[in-house]
Amino acid sequence: MTKYVYAFYEGNKEMKTLLGGKGANLAEMTKIGLPVPPGFTVTTQACNQYYEDGKQIHESIIKEIFENLKNLEEKIAKKFGDEKNPLLVSVRSGAVFSMPGMMDTILNLGLNDQTVIGMAKATENERFAYDSYRRFIQMFGDVVLEIPKYKFDHILEKEKQINHAELDTELTTQNLKNIIEEYKKLVKKESRKDFPQDPKEQLLMAIQAVFSSWNNPRAIVYRELNDIPNHLGTAVNVQSMVFGNMGDTSGTGVAFTRNPATGEKKLFGEFLMNAQGEDVVAGIRTPQPIAQLENTMPKVYKQFADVANLLENHYKDMQDIEFTIEKGKLFMLQTRNGKRTATAAINVAVDMVNEKIIDKETAILRIEPNQLDQLLHPTFEEKAMKEATKITKGLPASPGAATGKIYFNAQDVVNAANEGEKVILVRLETSPEDIEGMVAAQGILTARGGMTSHAAVVARGMGKCCVAGCGELRVDETKKVFKVGDKIFKEGDYISLDGNTGNVYEGSIQTQDPELSGNFGTLMNWADEMRKLKIRTNADTPKDAAVAVKFGAEGIGLCRTEHMFFEEERIPAVRKMILSKTVEERVAALDKLLPFQKNDFAGIFKEMGERSVTIRLLDPPLHEFLPHHDEDIKALSKQIEISYEQLKETVEELKELNPMLGHRGCRLSITYPEICEMQTKAIIMAAIEVKKEKNIDIEPEIMVPLIGSEKELEIIKDLIIKTANEVMDEMDEKLKFKVGTMIEVPRAAVTADEIAKHAEFFSFGTNDLTQMTYGFSRDDAGKFIPEYRKKEIFEKDPFQRLDQVGVGKLMKMAVELGKSQREDIKLGICGEHGGDPDSIEFCHKIGLHYVSCSPYRVPIARLAAARAAVQNK
Ligand code: PEP
Ligand code: MG
C-alpha cells in the first residue's frame, strides 16, 4: 500500500521527489541529530492523488495524517485542541524545487477560542497567546479562505488608531481580543461560515489549501519561468511550532553559509528578535545583520555558526538556513542549497574545490550554464558614472546595472516593456503577484525589505539587478510617484540602479560589457579540459567575431552573408543585380559588390586568424532586398532609372506566397550561378590576401544552404571549385578550402549518405529543420506556440530547445548516414539550438564535433558542453 505521510525521522535527503525539498531536508537534519521541532510530511504523491480524486483528500490519506498527528502529540507531550496544553503546528508547502514566495505558509494552527486560553496559561503570557491567535486567523483567512489581506489590515490599523498605537507591539491584550472579534466577524461575512474552531478541520483545510496553491497562477508562472514540470506536485510539512515571538530572548532569522551575492565565505543573513516566522522574509520590519547576533546572544550565535558549518560540510554546498530561537534555545526550521548569483555560484564552486570539499567535475555541475548569462550583462560605464547624480542608496540585493523608465505596478511595467521601453519596477515591497513585472523589468527598486526579502530572492534567481530596502524612498503606488527628500520622480522618469552598491541614480547612465577573468576564467579552463565538443560562433562581422573570440569561440560555424548585402552603400548594387534582365547586367552589378564582399571576408579572416571559418552562400529570398511600399518603390525607380511601373511589376513578380519554402537558399545558386561565383571569388580572394599578409594558414569552409537533393549540391560544388581554381590561377596562389552543406531540409537528412558524397562537412540548420519537420512557419509559430505550451503539447518552444524526439531523430540519422559515406565528415550545428544547454547535450550524445552559437552564448556553450561530457561519461 502506498505510504502518503512520513514522520521527519523516517525520511532523508535523498527523498526529495517524494517529500519535497523542505521535507527531505527537515528529515535529514533530524537524522543527523540537529534540533528540529518534530513533525511530518504529506508527500507530493498525496498532492497528485488529491488532483486525481477531483480535489479531495482521500480517506486513507486523512487516516495517515491523523495517525502521524497522534504520534507527534505523544512525542512532545502536547495535544491538538487541548484546552490546557495545546499542540500548535505550522503548515508549509515544500515542492521538489524550491519556489520562493510562490506557495503559502500557515503558522499557529490549532488555536481556537479555547486553546488560546490554555496557551495563555501555559506560557504565562496572555498577550503573546492572543497575538498568535490574531496572526493565525489573519493568515488562515488570507491563505485558506482567500479573504483579501487588506481587509484584515484595515481592522488592525483601525484598532491601532483608536488606541493611538504606532506599532503592533503597543497593542494591549484587550486590543488584540477586540481585533480577534472583528476578524471573526469578517470571516463570517466573507466566507458565510464561522471561523473553524476544530483544529483537525483547520489542519485538513490548510493541507488542502497548500495542494491547491500548487496550481495558483503565480506558481504556474514561476514554474514556466524555471522549467519546472507541472506534474511534480508539492508536499506539505506539518511541524510543531516553536516561537520566535516569546520576548527578548526569542527571535527568528535566515542565513546563508556564504554570501549569495559574492560567494564570500562568511555567514550572511538577518534576524529579528521577538518576531515570528515570515516577518524576516516578508520584509515588513527591517531586520538586523546576522553578525549582530554574536553581541545579542553569543552562545546561540556560536551554536548556530557551528550548525551552519556542519550543514555546509554535510551537504557539500552553500546552505540557506531558517532558524528560530525560543527563549534562548535554537531550533532549525529549514536548510536547502542556497540560491545564488552567477558570480557567487562560480566563486563558491571554485573555492570549494580549493578547500577540497568538492572536485572539479562537481564544480562544473554546480553551475547552470544559463546562469552565466548574468555575468555577460553590462555594468555602468566608468566615465558616465562620474557625471551621475546619486539620489539615494538601498541594499545591494542583486548585482548588475539597470537603466530605465520607472513604473509602479507589474502591469504597467509589462505594457511599457511590450512597447519596447526599458523599465524599472518601483514598489514599496514586491510580492509574488509582481513576478511578471519583475521578468519584464530591467531592474527592481523597493522601499522596504532586506537582503532576503521577496524582491531580493527572486531578482537574484533571475539574475536581475535589484536595490531593496531603500529607506529614504517615499513611494506612493496609487499616485505613481516616489519622493526622496523634496525631489519627486513620476511614472516615466528615468532612473538607474547599481545592484552591486545599492546606489540609485537620476536619469539614464551608459552601460558597458563586463570583463571575465579570475574564478570565471579558472572555471572555464576546467570546462575546456572536460568537454569534447568544440565551440564556434555565429558571427557576420569582425566586431561580433572579436567578441566571440574574447568569450572563447574556437571558430565561426555560420557567417550569414545576407546581412552584408543590406548595408546602405551596397543595397543599390544588390537591387540592380536583382532587377537585371540579362546575365551581363547581373554580372556587372555583382562586380560592384565583389570588392565589398571581399573586404567583409578579409576582416573576418583577420579577426579569426587560423581558426575555422564557415561562410554560407546567400540564403534569403531576393524580394527581401526590394522595397514594398509605393513611396519606396517610387524613390528607388528614380534612383536606378527604371520606370515605376516596371519596377512595381518586378517587385510583384518576386513576391512569394510561402517565401520560407520559396526561391531561396541553394535554389538561388541554381538559378543565378553568378551570385555563387561572386561570393566564391570574394571568399577565395580574401583568404589568399589575409593568408599572405599575416603569414598564416587559412582554410575557408564554403557552405551551401538548404540542400535537399544530391544533384543540387553536385552542381553547386562543381561551380565553386571551378571558380576557386580560376581565382587561384589568376592570383597565382594555392589555397585549401572545403565545401559542405547545411542539413536543414528533412530530405537532406534522410538522404545524407547521398549528399555526403559531395559534402566535406554538414552543419545542422535546426531552425529550418525544425520549421520543415513540424511544418511550422518560423515567422508565424509565435502566434500559437504559447497555447501549445499551455496545453502541454510542448514543454518548451521547439525553436528554442531542440525537439530531440523528432528533429533529433533526423539529425541522428543524418549523422549515421553521413559517416557511412564519408568516415571523416565534419559535423556541427548552427541553428539557435547550438546555444541551448539541453540541445548541446544532445549534440554531444550524437557525436557532433562542434556547436555554433551567438557570441554572448559562447561561455554558456563551453560550460554546457563540459557538463554534457561529465554527465555522459
Ligand atoms: C537554420 O536554419 O538553422 C540556420 C542556421 O539558418 P537561418 O536561421 O539563417 O535560416
Ligand atoms: Mg536556415
For Cα atoms 609, 611, 613, give the angle at the middle one, nearest 5 degrees. Answer: 100
* Residue 461, pLDDT score: 60
pLDDT, average across residues 800-822: 97
pLDDT, average across residues 366-384: 84
pLDDT in tens, 561-598: 987 887 777 888 888 888 888 999 999 999 999 999 99
Residue 771 pLDDT level (bands cut at 50, 70, 90): very high
- Give Cα 564 to chain centroid, integer Å: 33
Q: Pocket of ligand 1, candidates 538, 560, 803: which has the most ligand atoms within 8 Å of its Cβ, to mutate?
A: 560
* Residue 463, pLDDT score: 65
Q: Are 24 and 12 in contact (CB under 8 A)?
A: yes
Starting from the CA of residue 766, give the closest ligand: 1
* Residue 565, pLDDT score: 83
Residue 426 backbone phi and psi in degrees, to 5: -110, 125
* Residue 817, pLDDT score: 98
Residue nearest to atom 4 of ligand 1 (CA): 765
Atom of ligand 1 nearest to the CA of 831: 3
pLDDT, average across residues 286-315: 95
Starting from the CA of residue 807, give the closest ligand: 1
Atom of ligand 1 nearest to the CA of 763: 5
Q: Which of 47, 466, 676, 830 is catalytic?
A: 830
pLDDT, average across residues 715-744: 98
Q: How far is the CA of 620 from the centre of ligand 2 (A)?
A: 9
DSSP structural state of residue 10: G
Residue nearest to atom 1 of ligand 1 (CA): 765
Residue nearest to atom 8 of ligand 1 (CA): 767
Cell numbers standing for residue 492: 516615466
Starting from the CA of residue 763, give the closest ligand: 1
- Using DSSP bridges, classify how beta strands 251-256 and 268-273 pair: parallel, antiparallel or unpaired: antiparallel
Q: How far is the CA of 621 from the centre of ligand 2 (A)?
A: 12
* Residue 844, pLDDT score: 98
By residue count, the chain amounts to 873
Starting from the CA of residue 618, give the closest ligand: 1
Which element (helix H / strand E) includes 841? Answer: helix 837-845
Q: Pocket of ligand 1, candidates 616, 619, 857: which has the most ligand atoms within 8 Å of its Cβ, to mutate?
A: 619
pLDDT, average across residues 733-762: 98
Cα separation, 860 vs 516, whole angstroms: 13
Atom of ligand 1 nearest to the CA of 765: 3
Cα separation, 172 vs 840, whole angstroms: 63
Residue nearest to atom 3 of ligand 1 (CA): 765
Q: Write the DSSP string, 637-685.
A: HHHTT--HHHHHHHHHHH--SSGGGSS-THHHHHH-HHHHHHHHHHHHH
pLDDT of residue 324 exceeding 70 = yes
* Residue 459, pLDDT score: 80
By mean pLDDT, which of 301-310, 357-366, 511-520 is the weakest?
Answer: 511-520
Helices 199-213 and 59-76 cross at an angle (nearest 10°) of 120
Atom of ligand 1 nearest to the CA of 767: 3
Q: How far is the CA of 703 from the centre of ligand 2 (A)?
A: 11
Atom of ligand 1 nearest to the CA of 558: 5
Cα separation, 84 vs 815, whole angstroms: 75
Q: How far is the CA of 678 from the centre of ligand 1 (A)?
A: 22
C-alpha count within 13 angstroms, C-beta hemisphere, residue 386: 2
Q: Mean pLDDT across the chain, nearest whole number?
A: 92
* Residue 863, pLDDT score: 98
* Residue 102, pLDDT score: 53
* Residue 452, pLDDT score: 65
Q: How far is the CA of 280 from the centre of ligand 2 (A)?
A: 52
Cα separation, 756 vs 765, whole angstroms: 16
Closest to 825 in 3D by CA, of 734, 712, 741: 741
Q: Which of 377, 454, 758, 833 is catalytic?
A: 454
Atom of ligand 1 nearest to the CA of 771: 2
Q: Pocket of ligand 1, candidates 556, 743, 768: which has the most ligand atoms within 8 Å of its Cβ, to mutate?
A: 768
* Residue 823, pLDDT score: 97
Give the SS3 label for residue 323. Answer: strand
Q: Has 844 been annotated as catalytic?
A: no
C-alpha count within 13 angstroms, C-beta hemisphere, residue 317: 17
pLDDT in tens, 176-234: 999 999 999 999 999 999 999 999 999 999 999 999 989 888 888 888 878 888 889 99
* Residue 779, pLDDT score: 77
State in Å, rounded, how far the first CA of the chain is from the last one. 38
* Residue 793, pLDDT score: 92
Q: Are 115 and 199 in contact (CB under 8 A)?
A: yes
Q: How far is the CA of 619 from the centre of ligand 2 (A)?
A: 8
Neighbouring residues of 189: CB distance < 8 A, sequence distance ≥ 6: none
Q: How far is the CA of 509 from the centre of ligand 1 (A)?
A: 36
pLDDT, average across residues 342-350: 94
Q: How far is the CA of 224 from the centre of ligand 2 (A)?
A: 28
Q: Are 101 and 455 in contact (CB under 8 A)?
A: no
Positive or negative CA dihedral for 526, 528, 533, 539?
positive
Largest separation between any pair of C-alpha atoms in the chain: 104
Which residues sit opposite 251 in a β-bridge? 273, 325
pLDDT of residue 103 exceeding 80 = no
Residue 556 pLDDT level (bands cut at 50, 70, 90): very high
* Residue 221, pLDDT score: 81
* Residue 821, pLDDT score: 98
Q: How far is the CA of 201 from the centre of ligand 1 (A)?
A: 59
pLDDT of residue 443 exceeding 90 = yes
Which residues sit opposite 423 in a β-bridge? 405
Residue nearest to atom 10 of ligand 1 (CA): 768
Q: Are 453 and 434 in contact (CB under 8 A)?
A: no
Q: Has 830 been annotated as catalytic?
A: yes
Q: Are 412 and 491 in contact (CB under 8 A)?
A: yes
pLDDT, average across residues 306-316: 97
DSSP structural state of residue 286: P
Q: Are 67 and 10 in contact (CB under 8 A)?
A: no
For cell 507530493, name the residue.
44
Residue 64 pLDDT level (bands cut at 50, 70, 90): very high
Atom of ligand 1 nearest to the CA of 833: 3
Residue nearest to atom 6 of ligand 1 (CA): 765
C-alpha count within 13 angstroms, C-beta hemisphere, residue 370: 14
Q: Write the DSSP string, 110-156.
A: T--TTHHHHHHHHHT-HHHHHHHHHHHHHHHHHHTS---HHHHHHHH
C-alpha count within 13 angstroms, C-beta hemisphere, residue 536: 26
Atom of ligand 1 nearest to the CA of 619: 9
Starting from the CA of residue 834, give the closest ligand: 1
Say which residue, 636 or 859, is predicted with more confidence.
859
Q: Pocket of ligand 1, candidates 830, 843, 853, 857: which has the most ligand atoms within 8 Å of its Cβ, to mutate?
A: 830
Q: How far is the CA of 727 from the centre of ligand 2 (A)?
A: 28
Q: Are 468 and 449 in contact (CB under 8 A)?
A: yes
Neighbouring residues of 416: CB distance < 8 A, sequence distance ≥ 6: 405, 407, 423
pLDDT in tens, 412-434: 999 999 898 999 999 998 876 78
Residue 543 pLDDT level (bands cut at 50, 70, 90): confident
pLDDT, average across residues 1-30: 96
Q: Pocket of ligand 1, candidates 559, 561, 704, 744: which has the most ligand atoms within 8 Å of its Cβ, to mutate?
A: 744
Give the amino acid at 256: F
Residues of the chain with pLDDT > 70, as a percent, come to: 97
**pTM given for the model:** 0.79
Starting from the CA of residue 765, give the closest ligand: 1
The pocket around ligand 1, CB under 6 angstroms, is made up of: 558, 560, 619, 744, 765-768, 830-831
